[in-house]
Chains A and B, each alone.
Chain A
Amino acid sequence: MKLIKMLLAAGCMWAGAVLADPPKGYPFVSYDAGLKAAHASGKPIFLYFGRYGCAWCDHTNKKTFSDAALKKLYTQNYELVYVDAESGKRLTLPSGERITEAELGVRLQAFATPLFVYLTPQGDKIVQIPGFKTVQDFRDYDRYVRGGHYKQKTLLEFLGSKS
């Protein structure tokens, strides 16, 4: 009985530990590892700026990132990076500056989580989008980024003109 209780408690702790982490089944890595991988692969970076315990992150994970086709699209075409908005873990910016993950939020002027940031393989910011988004939204952002439309248009202009 004691063992069952312990297992249940451990299960609850584990369930808690994964709340508002990166969406299940996606190969998210740290900022430094993602930047290194992007340099090697030439793929753009999709940076998920989340917060531990964040309800809207949880909602986005469950509603949007659970879509199997979206998972395939982003896993195949992006280096996936997860950054914790309140973490003291360190990362190295493309400039060579070392800052904490929380400090990246300051640099991004993050108002709310989740915040989604698309970066070139060199780590330059393409666009950042805050808040809950749908599967279709992420498909549109993918076309904007991988289609290279960001070189000519703002995201709003692109979304206004999409067919």
Chain B
Amino acid sequence: MRAAALLLVVLAWPAQAAWEWSAPLTVNSVQGAAIYPHIESANRQGVAVSGDTVGVVWEDNRDGSPQCYLAMKPAAAAAFQPEIRLSRADCFEPVVLALGDGRFVAAWEEAGTVHARVLPGGPALQLTKAEAAQVTLAMRGDALYAAWAEQAGRFRRIVVARLALKADALGVKAAHPVEARAPSDEQGWPALAVAGDGSVSVAWEDRRSRHTVPMVSHSRDGERFAPPVRLTDIKSGSAPGGLGAGTGAMRPTLAAWGAKGVAAVWLDKRDFLSGYDVFAAFDAGARRFGKNVRVQDNFGDNMAQWHALVVGDGGGRLVALWDDARDGTPDVWLSDWDGEAFGDDVAVPAAHGPGAQSDPVATLDAAGFLHVVWLDRDETTGTRVRYARASPR
């Protein structure tokens, strides 16, 4: 009996073996009960590491309207520097990308169009004249890309742009919709990845099948994209009686991974009685995603997962993160890909336990460190944007 109880305790204990974590830091310098930071963005791209500097972006309403901010921290510093405000008008869903040597590109939605800026120091550039939102960035070598959802008639469609970068100034070299024809229903939340061979993959949410389906397209040159295909390996279709159009899936994320690969992770409601689950698919380099794989383990199966993302590196390391409330309150979880399957779900120690810890964003740096940022909600004192770094054991 005692042995069985001990076994249950061991099984229920969140595994924390693969990573060794630093003490967490608070990123946002201003908090309050009525200040609401958000780190949601297309491809969940809220943290980047450039040289030895960590950059974190988010949106909050401390100034009376939603504005976007960037905070930076040199690796050796004990705390984040005071944040820089990126926007002037209502701002949402900022993303950040490392340029190297402590420089970053941030992009965001402001006053209904998308903008980008090199930091520190560069001027802001409006990327679109048309109404647009949900911008994301990707880069390999000197090829810098942005993607966003742009209004095209009644619906939004996905546009991919090659950006020019000269010193601290950005420009748009060329911008093309992934599909030339007008969208027949809503498209949004693009995710971009530039694989090791330089090819560009873009995934997004698409409603052309009368329910939300993550779709993906590839381009060898970043300009001409292949006809899109589904990321999900289940078909659309009505339930018996001609009801509905298919199960839901949303917020695809992509990461370049290994020599030529791209990994995708998204929220998927194919098991519609347990909320969204985290699913993944892999493209080893053929520019074709394969069979879908469920990411979270059985302890998270009967539970809704939220805010999923994937991060990877050229060495083949791949990590999926999300939040769920399996232990009673929202916590941040991660799972490492071992080459054949996702491993046991591991709690991020400082983002686990009493209170609500959610909305992870993450990146893997060149040295193999995993950097994770999340929201730690407290209705009385206000929400903190928190950061921790993990080194592989």
Asked whether A109 and B134 contact (CB < 8 A) given A53-B210, A55-B244, the answer is no
Across the two chains, which residue of chain A brings its CB closest to B211?
A53
B250-A112 in contact (CB<8A): no
B248-A54 in contact (CB<8A): yes
Residues in A whose Cβ lies below 8 Å from that of B36: 95-98
Residues in A whose Cβ lies below 8 Å from that of B34: 95-96
Indicate the size class of the contact surface on chain B. 35 or more
Bound-state Cα–Cα, A19 to B304, Å: 24
Judged by a CB distance under 8 angstroms, whether A143 is at the interface is no
B248-A55 in contact (CB<8A): no
A54-B325 in contact (CB<8A): no
A19-B61 in contact (CB<8A): no
A112-B272 in contact (CB<8A): yes
Across the two chains, which residue of chain B brings its CB closest to A20?
B244
Please report the total number of A residues contacting B with Cβ < 8 Å: 33
Residues in B whose Cβ lies below 8 Å from that of A102: 250-251
B248-A51 in contact (CB<8A): yes
Judged by a CB distance under 8 angstroms, whether A69 is at the interface is no
Segment with Cβ contacts to B, from A22-30, A85-93, A144-152: A85-93
A54-B244 in contact (CB<8A): yes
A52-B275 in contact (CB<8A): no
Partner of B304, one of A17, A55, A97, A110: A110
Partner of A98, one of B61, B244, B306, B325: B61
A69 to chain B, nearest CB (A): 23
Judged by a CB distance under 8 angstroms, whether B207 is at the interface is yes
Across the two chains, which residue of chain A brings its CB closest to B240?
A55
Across the two chains, which residue of chain A brings its CB closest to B149?
A88
Judged by a CB distance under 8 angstroms, whether A81 is at the interface is no
Bound-state Cα–Cα, A110 to B248, Å: 13
Residues in B whose Cβ lies below 8 Å from that of A33: none
B205-A19 in contact (CB<8A): no
Report whether over half of chain B's contact residues are helix, strand or loop; otherwise say mixed.
Answer: loop
Asked whether A55 and B189 contact (CB < 8 A) given A19-B244, A88-B134, A96-B61, the answer is no
Partner of B210, one of A52, A109, A113: A52
A110-B275 in contact (CB<8A): yes
A86-B239 in contact (CB<8A): no
A52 to chain B, nearest CB (A): 6
Judged by a CB distance under 8 angstroms, whether A11 is at the interface is no
Residues in B whose Cβ lies below 8 Å from that of A109: 304, 325
Residues in B whose Cβ lies below 8 Å from that of A62: 243
Q: What is the 8 Å Cβ interface bit string for chain A, positions 66-90, against chain B (1 contact, 0 not)?
A: 0000000000000000000110101
Judged by a CB distance under 8 angstroms, whether A128 is at the interface is no
Bound-state Cα–Cα, A16 to B186, Å: 13
Bound-state Cα–Cα, A54 to B239, Å: 9
- Give residues 291-340 of B contacting A (CB, 8 Å): 304, 306-307, 325
A19-B210 in contact (CB<8A): yes
Residues in B whose Cβ lies below 8 Å from that of A58: 243-244
Q: What is the 8 Å Cβ interface bit string for chain B, positions 180-210, against chain A (1 contact, 0 not)?
A: 0000110011000000000000000101011
Asked whether A88 and B189 contact (CB < 8 A) given A53-B212, A58-B243, the answer is yes
Residues in A whose Cβ lies below 8 Å from that of B205: 86
Judged by a CB distance under 8 angstroms, whether A57 is at the interface is yes
Asked whether A100 and B40 contact (CB < 8 A) given A19-B210, A20-B245, A55-B239, the answer is yes
B240 to chain A, nearest CB (A): 9
A17-B61 in contact (CB<8A): no
Judged by a CB distance under 8 angstroms, whether B17 is at the interface is no
Judged by a CB distance under 8 angstroms, whether A13 is at the interface is yes
Bound-state Cα–Cα, A99 to B272, Å: 23
A57-B244 in contact (CB<8A): yes
Asked whether A103 and B66 contact (CB < 8 A) given A51-B248, A53-B212, A59-B241, the answer is no
Residues in A whose Cβ lies below 8 Å from that of B381: none
A53-B273 in contact (CB<8A): no
- Give residues 120-141 of A contacting B (CB, 8 Å): none
Across the two chains, which residue of chain B brings its CB closest to A131?
B273
Interface residues in chain A, defined as those with a beta carbon under 8 Å from any beta carbon in chain B: 13, 16-17, 19-20, 51-59, 62, 85-86, 88, 90, 95-100, 102-103, 106, 109-113
What are 15 A-B residue pairs whose CB atoms fall within 8 Å in the complex?
A: A16-B210, A17-B185, A17-B210, A52-B245, A53-B207, A53-B209, A53-B236, A53-B244, A53-B245, A54-B248, A62-B243, A85-B248, A86-B205, A88-B134, A110-B304
7 nearest A-B residue pairs (beta carbon):
A53-B211, A55-B244, A53-B245, A55-B239, A55-B243, A97-B36, A16-B210
Beyond known contacts A95-B34, A102-B251: 7 more, CB 8 A cutoff: A19-B244, A19-B245, A53-B211, A59-B244, A86-B212, A90-B92, A96-B34
